[in-house]
Amino acid sequence: MTGPFALPWLTFAAILVIVGSIIGAIAWGIRCPGSDDTDGEAPDE
Amino acid sequence: MSNVAIYGTVLGVYLAVLIAMGLWMARRTRSVEDFYIGGRQVGPWVTAFSFVAAYFSSVVIIGGGAFGYRFGMSTLWVAASNVLIGCTLAWIVLGRRIWQFTKRLDTMTIPGFIGRRYDAREAEIISALIIFVFMIVYNVSVLVGMGRIMEGLMGIPYTTGVLVAGVIILMYVSIGGYLAVVWTSFIQAWIMIFGLLLLGFATLHAVGGFTAANVKLAAIDPGFVETPGIWGWGGLISFALIVSFGVWGMPQLLVRFYSMKSTRVLRLGTILATLGGAMAIFPYAIGAASRLLLPTLENPDLAIPKLTEMVLNPWGAAIFLAGVMAAGMSTFASVLIIVSGSIVEDLRRGRKICGGHENGASKGSGSRALLYGRIASFGAGLVSLLIALKPPGLVLVITAFAWAVIASACLWPVVLGIYWRRGTRAGATSSMIAGAAVALVWMIAGRPLGIHGFIPGVIVSLVVFVLVSLVTKPPAREIVDRAWGTGR
């Protein structure tokens, strides 16, 4: 059984993974924790 | 205008830009920290695209096309793993903590990180040695790949091609340091993307579109469009993992996280690196489709070069060639700065030369330290260049192992080093030795079961790391506190 672009679904899923990664990266970028400049600095000694 | 003149013009402009950039960045490189990590002042665009350029060498473009030609569209899964694991997840899982830990531990290199995180001088030396030896041979393979491409596509004699590319890289790296590497890589990434888009769309046009290509491939053999198709699960999964998860232990890519100016870079950087990484789909898809245009190719490595001649006009072919060279040069330059850093930081830590001090050896900013950095970069590059001019058979064999050995040795000491407080000095040291040894032996044994040496290497490395850490004395409280920034 074939999916879009005449590819079998299991092969087409690879394209979905790439598109999903891009969407996921955008979502994570928007919600990215620790986005202020001093984040990660060691506490004052 | 003849083809040679067109190629010469495009490449001449491209190479002149690289040299100018090296000179420009030299003015901004005043300390060792500038030379090796750009003074931790690099923003999201340059960090992300230089990451992608260092990730994909010319070997990946030409070799990816060859895999696509041989195994068909199932190789899209390799591209998918490149994007998801090698780019998106690498940035999300590693980026923030690598930046934080290396800043707290005050180090510029992977050996420096391992040495300080585990308070283990021997682990630092072992990792520096592994990186030094295998990165140099990896760079030989990158140069050999570039030389062959220039010979095949432009008819430039192999020795001349290697010399021109190698000498220009040596110049801009040893003069401009890390900033020259990332800024040239940034430009090179765009040339690569543009070149691949050009070849991708020209190929699709020539075969009647993506859907038509898949229908025609399936008619030749359904295995060319199915997953795992004619490759089989073992080969497909192990290759996909080495070129994606293996990235998590590759120093020339991890250093991009050291050099970010803040963790804010990760927000946009993760998106850009994922988008840039998505170009990985092109070499594989183009290679697979090329079977329709070049059905009787004896050497699959020629799929992309032959296709370039067939579907692009001379200007397009020249731009694509510049893109392939860009892929190789950016990887070579990125590796070179890592090799140099491993030598210089380790020497400074060990002998406290050139202005280093007890708790901040990497902070020295003396001109002597900078000079050592430049000499080390030039020397390490020269060694690769000289070997690449006439590579002995043994070196070419070892180049195939380099990525597997480095990733197997470094991956867990880095990843668990930022996520597992219980990891110990003995655990890290034994894990590196075991991982590198197993990967090397597996590859020398001819890849039993068709599985890449990285898989057994990284599994053994993980098991040894965890078991040895659990049976040895937990790390001292102050070491953990320093790395995690806690307890004060």
- The dihedral over CA atoms of B153, B51, B80, B276, expressed in degrees to the nearest 10, equals -80
**Predicted local confidence at residue B414, as pLDDT:** 96
Chain A 2-41, residues with CB within 8 Å of chain B CB atoms: 5-8, 10-11, 13-15, 17-18, 20-22, 24-26, 28-30, 32-41
User: Among B211, B263, B274, whose Cβ lies nearest the Cβ of A21?
Assistant: B274
Chain-centroid distance, C-alpha A11: 19
Q: How many residues does chain A have?
A: 45
Chain B 203-222, residues with CB within 8 Å of chain A CB atoms: 210-211, 214-215, 218
Cis peptide preceding B392, ω within 30 of 0: no
> What tens digit of pLDDT does each residue of B91-121 get?
999 999 999 999 999 888 899 999 999 999 8
Is the minimum CB–CB distance between B487 and chain A shorter than 8 Å? no
**Predicted local confidence at residue B57, as pLDDT:** 77
Q: Could you tell me the two tokens for B67? A: 């895999």
Instruction: Check CB contact under 8 Å for B215 and A22.
Output: no
Cα distances (Å, whole numbers) of residue B285 to B63, B222, B247: 12, 16, 22
Work out the minimum CA distance from A32 to partner chain B, whole angstroms.
6
> What tens digit of pLDDT does each residue of B192-223 get?
899 899 999 999 999 999 999 999 999 999 99
User: Among B80, B91, B263, whose Cβ lies nearest the Cβ of A17?
Assistant: B80
A38 to chain B: closest CA residue: B262
User: Among A8, A24, A35, whose Cβ lies nearest the Cβ of B267?
Assistant: A35
**Predicted local confidence at residue A7, as pLDDT:** 95
**Predicted local confidence at residue B396, as pLDDT:** 66
Q: Give CA–CA dist B421/B101, Å, rounded.
A: 12
Residue with tokens 């923003």: B43
Chain B 53-82, residues with CB within 8 Å of chain A CB atoms: 73-74, 76-77, 79-80
Residues in chain B with pLDDT < 50? Answer: 352-365
Chain-centroid distance, C-alpha B340: 15
**Predicted local confidence at residue B367, as pLDDT:** 73
**Predicted local confidence at residue B488, as pLDDT:** 55
**Predicted local confidence at residue B94, as pLDDT:** 96
pTM: 0.90
Instruction: Check CB contact under 8 Å for A39 and B262.
Output: yes
User: Among B76, B267, B274, whose Cβ lies nearest the Cβ of A11?
Assistant: B76
Question: Which residues of B fall within a CB distance of 8 Å from A7?
Answer: 73, 214, 225
List the end-to-end C-alpha distance of chain A, in Å, as a whole number. 64
Chain-centroid distance, C-alpha B53: 8
Instruction: Check CB contact under 8 Å for B274 and A32.
Output: no
Residues in chain A with pLDDT < 70? Answer: 1, 33-45
* Interface predicted TM-score (ipTM): 0.87
User: Among B80, B263, B277, whose Cβ lies nearest the Cβ of A34?
Assistant: B263
